[in-house]
Chains A and B, each alone.
Chain A
Amino acid sequence: MANGSLANEVSYLEYEGKHKGIMGWLLSVDHKRIGLMYLMGIMIFFFVAMTLGVLMRLEMLTPGETIMKPSTYNSVFTLHGVIMVFLFIIPAIPAVFGNFMLPIQIGAKDVAFPRLNLFSWYLYMAGAILAIVSLFVGGGAADTGWTFYVPYSIRSAQNVTMTTMAAFVLGFSSIVTGLNFVVTIHRLRAPGMTWFRMPLFVWGLYATSWIQVLATPVIGITLALIMLERFMGIGVFDPALGGDPILYQHLFWIYSHPAVYIMILPAMGVVSEILPTFARKDIFGYKQIAISSLGIALIGYLVWGHHMFVSGMSDTSRIVFSLLTFLVAIPTGVKIFNWVATLYKGSIKFSAPLYYVLGFIFIFSIGGLTGLVLGALATDIHVTDTYFVVAHFHYVMFGGMGIMFFATMHYWFPKVFGKMYNEKLAVIACTVIIIGFNLLYFPFFIMGYMGMPRRYYDYLPQFQGWHILSTVGSWILVSGIVFMFGNLLYALLRGPKASMNPWGGTTLEWKVPSPPPLENFDEIPIVTGGPYVHDKSTYIMHPSKEGINANGAVKTVNQEAAL
């Protein structure tokens, strides 16, 4: 660390340490570089999975075989799900922007375990490569759906083992990231950064990290058991040997339902960052939003059974899970109302990230409310395994997490790369994306309600009109996404330099240069107030230069907090 002060004269992008060139990235333990390496991986897999999705929509353009055989369709929707869920949605915001922003937002120079952080990236890549390789080796890509339900996943002649292995490794990567974040948030907050002065994105990450630590191992053992079933026939899930397939579903959803909140909580955290910045106003109900993140994480553990209402579970259990499911609406509602209240009487500056957030609130509300239709026992039975379910989770997953990932990229783009993108084009792309999204997925609700089953490569002629509408929507959505990335890519190469704080943000990442220097801060700052105060600075960025004795300041800050 002798070169620490030298390192802070150049940005993390330009800094050259022990290793040069590509190795300077692959061996870097800097949280910012690791974040960008995740971004690279995640973008690639997002495009792979998106292409698979477009192919599925093409297949559905006409009844019967359009471009692929039914068995290919099975593999395509499985891989679309596996890649989107495990390689994009779960890691995208925490692993990319969590890694990048978490240490800066709490005033630390890095995460608690930088080497472990790099290790988790390698695990991610190993899992990703396994998932991609499983497409081409063995008896063909897995065709079980991303849920790997038994007994089919035990019997399928396709290459299920390798795909589950990939998910297993990715789960391990996710655990390591979560563990690192929990310790970082507990141990590395800057002096004066009390729990209720942390940015809400950090709260979202904290809740997420706990789910990663306390739920992912369950899917690990479940998938390991699938592999053992396939190799050795131990019988724990195989009905032929007395095993209970419903228990598999329990174990799978014990993880995978909380995982839904791994996906959405960081996205909700970013909403709470973007709104106060562009409304020029302190967030409304800071504590409620912070606590509701933990509330969602906690209730998330109690509701997994709502994925299994028609599986043959006991009636008692179905009623209990249905009731608990409705509870999730409470903390989610708290967030939505607080966000809207933040906008009320704010000096709103319309900008691309804010457009995405508004789109998010609209789309996510539809997704959330249709979730209640699925959570209610009677209506769920009518729409189970139809396009209604597919529409619901695309509205909350893609419309929630995906749209917010785009928002996040626009919001932190100037900070991460030090370049500015074309605002007008970004807003146009956003509009196209939101129109395309609704055109693509809204017909799913209608088709699902009419009885169109999911995961079929064929359909009755009466659905064709809706399917055509939806496929056209997929073209619009994809062109919007490509346009958006084109705009960002152009900005990356040719864009004008971004200033330190282009949006007037109030959290710590806007107090350091764009792009940030290697060690983020010359000196660990001292925090004297909340994260979204617009009229005065709540950070002392150079305590020693301003003649403030760090120890003394800590004491006064603590005394203030105590009072």
Chain B
Amino acid sequence: MTEHSEVLNQGETHAAHVHRDDEGSKMAMWLFLFTELLLFGGLFLLYGAYRFEYADGFKVAAAEMNSFIGAVNTIILLTSSLSVALSIAAMQRNQKKLALAMLWFTILCGIGFLINKYFEWSHEIHNGVYPGGPGLENMSNGEVLYFGLYYVMTGLHGLHVIIGLIFISFIMVFIARDKITSTNFQKLENAGLYWHLVDVIWIFLFPLFYLLH
């Protein structure tokens, strides 16, 4: 509201500068999500190409994956997506505390996801399964490529989880300081969009890397 009244007070001349454009902000966020989608898109394309070429090697390699941890992580991310959505709904209803609580929950989910990932990776690295590692020496080309892509794609995804957590932390500070309110919450909405994108990418990574039997 404050920004709106500013616009009114200062008259028409400077509207373009002061004017808050939620729709434009959302549009920019979507365009940014497209760039993220295509960033991962290149990797998905590589995955598709190599899976096409080395179908058997991929199956052998995927057999070593623990699909239970993958499924747990999927549920964690889906739940965190729910809590972000609920946080926006709470913000709309001016329930600041609930909105903050939901974001705290989201952050916990994100950290839980990363901890799972950490154990998963360290288990594999312990077994020598990493690019250039001893575990890959006797493997076929398909398996080596599978693990190469596995590390790059889940690694890049993990990086996005971390960025998302930082993004959400900033948003929580804004909410606590009343910079984000029930009438001015596009920033929260954008953080939500980002977090959902991270979720969507995982929705595809999960079956591609864990459910190949």
Contacts and interface: CB of A to CB of B under 8 A. Distances in A.
A–B direct contact (CB < 8 Å)? yes
Interface of A: 1-2, 4-5, 108-110, 112-113, 175, 179-180, 182-183, 186-188, 213-218, 220-222, 225, 228, 232-236, 241-244, 247, 250-251, 254, 519, 522-524, 544, 550
B28 A544 contact: no
A186 B28 CA distance: 10
B42 A244 contact: no
B59 to A, nearest CB: 15
20 contacts: A1-B14, A4-B13, A4-B14, A109-B17, A180-B28, A182-B31, A183-B27, A183-B28, A188-B16, A216-B35, A228-B152, A234-B149, A235-B131, A235-B141, A236-B46, A243-B145, A244-B49, A522-B13, A524-B12, A524-B13
Contacts of A112: 21, 24, 28
Given A187-B24, A217-B39, A522-B13, A242 B131 contact: no
Interface in B174-205: none
B85 interface: no
B50 interface: yes
Contacts of B35: 175, 179, 213-214, 216-217
Nearest to A524: B16
Which of B10, B15, B27, B31 has its CB near the most chain A CB atoms (within 10 A)? B31
Contact of B42 (A183, A221, A243, A523): A221
Contact of A187 (B12, B27, B42, B50): B27
Interface of B: 10, 12-18, 21, 23-24, 27-28, 31-32, 34-43, 45-46, 49-50, 53-54, 131-132, 140-142, 144-145, 148-149, 151-152
A2 B50 CA distance: 59
Is chain A's interface secondary structure helix, strand, loop, or mixed overall? helix
Given A187-B21, A232-B131, A234-B148, A217 B36 contact: yes
B34 A110 contact: no
Nearest to A246: B49
Which of A113, A221, A228 has its CB near the most chain B CB atoms (within 10 A)? A221
A5 B13 contact: yes
Contacts of A228: 152
Contacts of A108: 16
A236 B14 contact: no
Contacts of A182: 27, 31
Contacts of B141: 235, 241-242
A550 B15 CA distance: 13
A445 to B, nearest CB: 35
B149 A110 contact: no
B52 to A, nearest CB: 10
Contacts of A220: 39
A236 B50 contact: yes
Which of A213, A225, A234 has its CB near the most chain B CB atoms (within 10 A)? A234
Contacts of A1: 10, 14, 17-18
Contact of A183 (B24, B34, B36, B37): B24
Contacts of B131: 232-235
Contacts of A524: 12-13, 15-16
A544 B12 contact: yes
A214 B144 CA distance: 30
Nearest to A112: B24
Contacts of A225: 46, 152
A214 B38 contact: yes
Contacts of A5: 13
Closest A-B pairs by Cβ, 7 of them: A242-B141, A234-B148, A217-B38, A187-B24, A221-B42, A217-B39, A109-B16
A224 to B, nearest CB: 8
A110 B16 contact: yes
B150 to A, nearest CB: 10
Given A109-B17, A213-B31, A236 B145 contact: yes
A241 B149 CA distance: 12
Given A1-B18, A179-B32, A217-B35, A232 B132 contact: yes
Contacts of A217: 35-39, 41-42
A480 B141 CA distance: 55
Contact of B45 (A179, A214, A241, A251): A251
Nearest to A178: B31
Nearest to B6: A1
B144 to A, nearest CB: 5
A523 B12 CA distance: 8
B212 to A, nearest CB: 17
Contact of A523 (B13, B41, B54): B13
B204 to A, nearest CB: 15
Which of B18, B37, B39, B141 has its CB near the most chain A CB atoms (within 10 A)? B39
Given A179-B35, A235-B141, A519-B17, 4 more contacts: A183-B27, A220-B39, A225-B46, A524-B12
Contacts of A243: 145
Nearest to A544: B12
A183 to B, nearest CB: 5
Given A179-B31, A232-B132, A218 B16 contact: no
Contacts of B46: 225, 236, 247, 251
Contacts of B10: 1-2, 4
